[in-house]
Amino acid sequence: MPDSRGRIDMRLRRVRRLTATLAVSKLLANTTNFQDGNAGMYLTGPYNISTFDTALGKDKYEVLPAPSGPAGNNDVLADGGNISFGARTGKTKQEQTLAAFLVSPEGQELAMTGDHQPVVRIPVNSALDAAKVRHGPAGAWCRRRTRPPPRSSRRRIPVSTSKSFPAAPAPSRP
């Protein structure tokens, strides 16, 4: 059996593989068409406000509720960072352990400072301050290790993002 450091490294490798498969679509991070004036409306979350304030200027855009659809409501598709488990996997304890780790401060920080696009933009764990994590030592380490993605000749417009965040599951105690 590996020592405690080896077990931690092994778990982190597993979580990194999992978070890579759960990563938020790159479509949601590309705001170029809106910022360039090629899209008149853009569905996004509060994490892009400071980007638009800087790139466009606070007086150049408005934040509005989504327009009402045929049913008369303005609900939008919630594209969040949810994780789902099968009902009959037989691995309930492992699933609860993973879910508890993913919403823990360590799991949230790992997902905010990984090698690729951050999976977590706004942490669900109130013990973390996103700005401190992203601009602190872990975020600096990540920025040194990460190369920018290649520029694509094809531009995409994101379709939606979450207005709210899912509640963290309560881990059960054995």
Q: CA nearest 159: which of 36, 73, 71, 66?
A: 66
pLDDT score for 76: 67
| Both tokens assigned to 117 | 């696009």
Are 83 and 22 within 8 A, CB to CB? yes
> Residue 62 to residues 33, 36, 66, 112, 144: CA-CA distances in angstroms?
16, 15, 12, 28, 35
Report pLDDT for 58.
85
pLDDT in tens, 23-44: 444 444 456 677 777 777 777 7
pLDDT tens readout for residues 69-87: 788 887 765 555 566 777 7
